[in-house]
Amino acid sequence: MNLDLIVTPLFAAGQLRIGVLFLRWAQRQRVRRGAALAALICFEFLVAAGYASGSSPLAAYVPWRGASVFGAIIYLYLALSTCFVGVEMIVEALGKHLGADTNHSRRRALALAGNTLMAAPLAAIGYGALIERTNFEVRELELPLPELPGDLHGLRILQLSDIHLGVFLSERELARMIDAACSLRPHVAFATGDFISTFGDPLEACLRQLARVKADAGMLGCLGNHERYAQAEDEATRLAARTGIRLLRSEACRLRFGNSVLNVAGVDYQPSRDRENYLRGTEQLIAPGACNLLLSHNPDVFPVAARQGYNLVLAGHTHGGQVNVEVLDQSINPARFLTEYVQGAYRIGTAAEYVTRGIGTVGIPARVGAPPEITLIRLQKA
């Protein structure tokens, strides 16, 4: 399901309500209706333009790096104003339910609760932008694979993904995370796409930082949707090769560890709208007798990869939802509308997938309940 099909109508409904409230306010202030309506139309036009400029496919064609900032401001406004409208409507409905109730303390409590609820999203986003956005976690886990060749037992795999170096993540902030990754001393390192967000972002600087990671078998990677949006797939491949990073584009690379082989295949971004063509031809990259690992930015390809015979898929793309709220042991986040593979380890038969939360942000420069992640996986013989 396309997230825009859910988010856009919600934002539109929120703006409709905001417009009604604004016109009521203008009427009380005795502002001419024509002038108020014209101001509202101009404002909503700017909101629509900002929302469009923050949409990755469109932003790639805007030769102004400020478009990302403008889009993020508008997206934040839309998210907060929609929350405000929801709370306002609940408070209004409860107020009507109370009717002529003369219990003033109850009404004051209701007003206080409403104000608190309205402030909560702003406080959460503020925390996510100022603190959690760069408060990264090094996540180490053991991943058992039933068909793992003997000499791959204990293999340490570093995964980095969704860096989005640019306006919302500086090279200095990335360097601090790369310092932590370098200390993990992996046998092999993988980068699973989205090095940048949009046109004009510092792609070369991102790859230069990634190249600082030293692994016994080097670093391999795949491309993400944002390289495609920025029309930078070929440039990323060329620059990565110059720094010693090999990006796999419908190709495979065999890595030997002792007497065992890790066959690493990689694909360009697999669009969700083209599910029937997921991983077409990728089964030809499988190496019999080896542990077959697939690098795919989009985690939604996992069922297809498992059917084709891949033992392990490493993916990113979802940011772990980026803004994630836990309610009754259930995670509520935008990524759940896109895929069931949001973060962590998943299994289908003997195959496994790991989806990392990644490092950077898109849309709004904040993370809530989904901190940045550097992943170290130790393969285990199941």
Candidates 259, 266, 200, 192; CA nearest to 229 is 200
- Going by C-beta distance under 8 Å and a sequence separation of 6 or more, which residues neighbour residue 176? 134
Q: Bridge partners of 375? A: 139, 159
Expressed as residue numbers, the domain containing 233 is: 137-381
H or E stretch at 378: strand 373-381
Q: Among 108, 132, 156, give the residue marking a domain's end.
A: 132
Report the distance separating Cα 376 and Cα 180, nearest Å. Answer: 11
Are 237 and 249 in contact by the 8 Å Cβ rule? The answer is yes
What CA–CA distance (Å, rounded) separates 81 from 118?
Answer: 9
pLDDT of residue 1: 47
pLDDT digits (tens, 9 = 90+) for 113-133: 666 655 666 676 676 777 788
- pLDDT recorded at residue 77: 76
Measured from the Cβ of residue 182, the count of other Cβ atoms closer than 10 Å reads 15
What whole-number percentage of the chain has pLDDT above 90?
55
Name the phi and psi angles at 285, rounded to 5.
Answer: -90, -5
- The number of domains in the chain is 2
Question: What is the predicted pLDDT for the residue at 107?
Answer: 59
Based on the domain organization, do 99 and 182 belong to the same domain? no
Residue that is last in its domain, among 132, 165, 199? 132
In a shared domain, residues 21 and 103: yes
Alpha helices (H) along the chain:
4-28, 33-53, 56-59, 66-98, 104-127, 171-182, 203-210, 225-229, 233-243, 302-308
Q: 290, 151 in Cβ contact below 8 A?
A: no
List the CATH number of the domain containing 204.
3.60.21.10
Q: What is the pTM of this model?
A: 0.79
Residue 66 has pLDDT above 80, yes or no: no
Same domain, 264 and 121: no
Residue for token pair 């990728």: 282
pLDDT tens across 145-191, in order?
999 999 999 999 999 999 999 988 999 999 999 999 999 999 999 99
53 confidence band (pLDDT: 50, 70, 90): low
Which amino acid appears at position 49 of this protein?
A
pLDDT at 351 over 90: yes
Residue with tokens 């980068």: 191
At residue 8, the pLDDT reads 78
| Same domain flag for 8 and 73 | yes
